[in-house]
A = this chain, B = another copy of it.
Amino acid sequence: MASNAWPHLAGRIEGGEHILPIRVYFEDTDFSGVVYHGAFVRFLERGRSDFIRLLGIGHDGLARGEHGERLAFAVRRLALDFTAPARIDEVVEVRTRLARLTGVRVALRQSVHRAAETLVAADVEVVLVDGRNRLARLPAAVRRRFEAGADD
């Protein structure tokens, strides 16, 4: 119900790319006056979470064992380039796109923008791990949803 009341809360997918708007709050800034670099890492995770949400893959469903066993996404690699700062009260957009899919690994290309300007560019590799934190193969249903999203 709540989600219907706020239709764009999870952003949207356009041309295979997911776009999520994020407001900069107090919590995201540091004493230097701009957004703390670690806050962008959180912003990117929100973008990935809402991307997979719109693909029909939810953290909650994975954790409940929807695909056979308890699974959770874990980040394996993260490479970030910071090119311009963001400030309190601004709205930035996180863009997320599938870059490559293997049997166990999802590579995503992400970026953070303010209007036309790129603030951060990121390459991220995520995997699924089971309840004991061991690498799991991507369930076929999860793979298909990523592939379908890339074609949207």
A8 is contacted by which of B8, B31, B60, B80 (Cβ under 8 Å)?
A: B8
- Across-interface contacts of A87 in B (CB, < 8 A): 31, 60
- If A60-B89, A88-B63 touch, whether A27 touches B30 (CB-CB below 8 Å) is yes
- Across-interface contacts of A76 in B (CB, < 8 A): 81-82
Say how far A133's CB is from chain B's closest CB, in angstroms: 5
A17 sits at the interface (CB 8 A):
no
Say how far A116's CB is from chain B's closest CB, in angstroms: 9
A109 sits at the interface (CB 8 A):
no
Give 11 new A-B contacts, CB below 8 A, not counting A2-B114, A10-B23, A58-B89. Answer: A2-B21, A8-B8, A23-B49, A26-B30, A31-B72, A31-B87, A37-B75, A38-B42, A74-B85, A77-B80, A85-B133
